[in-house]
Amino acid sequence: DAMVIQNPRYQVTQFGKPVTLSCSQTLNHNVMYWYQQKSSQAPKLLFHYYDKDFNNEADTPDNFQSRRPNTSFCFLDIRSPGLGDAAMYLCATSRKRGWGDSNQPQHFGDGTRLSIL
Amino acid sequence: AQSVSQHNHHVILSEAASLELGCNYSYGGTVNLFWYVQYPGQHLQLLLKYFSGDPLVKGIKGFEAEFIKSKFSFNLRKPSVQWSDTAEYFCAVNPYSGGGADGLTFGKGTHLIIQP
């Protein structure tokens, strides 16, 4: 009954080799988020899509990009991974009905653990 | 920008003990407050949330939290813990901005271990 699905669960890539992480959802939520969580640290928001609008956090490195081809799917692209990018990457979704609506609780996937060789 | 502080990084309790995990946030405006739990090998799950109204909110599995605006706190409580409560607990906030869809700012988490 997984509602936010992240693939793969574990990803290994080489230093500098582009990598793409995938997230899909069956909730029909209009907002999708990507978080980075390093060991023993809090999850940190990288960016989110509100419908088709992309919202980047000010301190997210340019190395990180995202695509949302449709409501159900969202991708995280790391163009040239460095050793410091090894982390758990979490995808989350929520529903925002419109201006004035509170930010509804987010639903999280299991995460993709990225290792860099 | 908002920030969240969780006071205890590791807590060890015996079954049936009472639990209180501290959470303080810094933000000048209206916030939505959440507690999430992550059981070993599982994804983050919502325990409870506060948007407005009664500052004492009840969540799943017997958890509750109290929002004290004057103290910028949202502490999590449970009167009697069980072994199955062993997990990582995260306090999180996001600002109520009206127009946008805002991400969560998380605390660093509290690793709770319940000894049988």
Per-residue pLDDT at B43: 87
Which residues make beta-bridge pairs with A12? A115
> Tens of pLDDT along B58-83?
999 999 999 999 999 999 999 999 99
Contact A103 B106 (CB under 8 A): no
The answer to whether residue B100 scores a pLDDT higher than 90 is no
- pLDDT at B101 exceeding the cut of 70: no
Instruction: Name the pairing type of β-strands B19-21 and B73-78.
Output: antiparallel
User: For position B75, what pLDDT does the model report?
Assistant: 97
> Given a cut of 90, is residue A102 above it in pLDDT?
no
Closest CA to A36 of B104, B116, B24, B85: B104
Using a CB-CB cut-off of 8 Å, the residues of chain B touching A108 are 36, 43-45
- For A5, the token pair is 């699905």
* Tens-digit pLDDT profile for residues B43-64: 899 999 998 899 999 999 999 9
> Considering only CB atoms, which chain B residues are within 8 Å of A43?
44, 90, 104, 106
pLDDT over 90 at B34, yes or no: yes
Confidence of residue A41 (pLDDT cuts 50, 70, 90): confident
Spatial separation of the C-alpha atoms in residues A11 and B74, rounded to whole Å:
36
pLDDT at A105 over 70: yes
B2/A contact by beta carbon, under 8 A: no
pLDDT band at B103 (very low <50, low <70, confident <90, very high): confident
Query: Per-residue confidence at B6, pLDDT binned at 50, 70, 90?
Result: very high
User: Is A57 within 8 Å of B103 when comparing Cβ atoms?
Assistant: yes
Would you call B83 an interface residue with chain A, using a CB distance cutoff of 8 Å?
Answer: no
